[in-house]
């Protein structure tokens, strides 16, 4: 698992066995729907979002079927964290006390599903290899819609050429610092060392989806690609 050859440091070897091993019924996961539906955020709409639709379809194709009541948990979280991926349980945690509105929810789900997708397809050492974490955080920031123009304007951040890459780098570093007790220098070094390879790893979208329209096109292309492969 190295980027010396220019490839992503996340090795593309299936983790479906660990995904299924962690997929037994969970009382924690069973709470998510009732809690979310009792709030102003309609979680059922999350699965109509094209980012989530594509990622869930790609995970199913890779042998990691996503079940709403098993792989999602809605909880109160400390600090300002909006969500996270628990690799031990293959579960996405949504922080109900920090998610502000539906579009924020959709973005958090897409971000965490990218981590889940990486966990499914690869041997990711989330806790001991900071480069692996950095790679998945780069991919999540790049492909989830975190760094769309509208989101950056809402953050009062503006830029010209190369601003998307700057946003991805900054948010990947922030995410590492939020979940690991490492220095900023260590986080920056890990991100910079794998940035080019991981920024250009566009699976399963095949492109950078800068908007919902882009994500819908990517989802359509993914389904057509799957049909073409099935007919070979």
**Residues with catalytic roles:** 112
Long-range contacts of 67-73 (CB under 8 A, 24+ apart): 67/23, 68/32, 68/33, 69/29, 69/30, 69/32, 69/33, 70/23, 70/25, 70/26, 70/29, 71/23, 71/29, 71/116, 72/29, 72/32, 73/26, 73/28, 73/29, 73/31, 73/32
CA 212/CA 35 separation, integer angstroms:
26
* Token pair 């869930």 in the structure block, residue: 56
């Amino acid at each position: 698992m190295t980027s010396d050859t220019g490839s992503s440091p996340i090795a593309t070897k299936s983790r479906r066995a660990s995904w299924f091993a962690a997929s037994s019924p969970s009382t924690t996961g069973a709470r998510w729907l009732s809690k979310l539906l009792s709030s102003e955020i309609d979680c059922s709409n999350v699965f109509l979002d094209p980012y989530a639709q594509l990622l869930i379809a790609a995970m199913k194709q890779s042998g990691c079927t996503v079940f709403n009541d098993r792989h999602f948990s809605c909880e109160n979280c400390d600090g300002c964290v909006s969500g996270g991926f628990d690799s031990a349980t293959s579960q996405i945690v949504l922080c109900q006390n920090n998610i502000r509105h539906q579009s924020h929810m959709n973005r958090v789900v897409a971000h965490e599903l990218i981590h889940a997708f990486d966990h499914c397809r690869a041997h990711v050492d989330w806790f001991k290899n900071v480069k692996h974490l950095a790679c998945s955080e780069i991919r999540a920031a790049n492909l989830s819609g975190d760094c769309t123009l509208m989101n950056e304007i809402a953050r009062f951040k503006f830029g010209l050429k190369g601003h998307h890459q700057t946003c991805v780098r900054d948010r990947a570093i922030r995410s590492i610092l939020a979940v690991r007790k490492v220095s900023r220098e260590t986080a920056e070094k890990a991100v910079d060392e794998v940035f080019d390879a991981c920024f250009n790893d566009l699976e399963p979208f095949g492109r950078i989806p800068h908007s919902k329209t882009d994500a819908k096109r990517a989802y359509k292309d993914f389904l057509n690609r799957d049909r073409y492969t099935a007919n070979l």
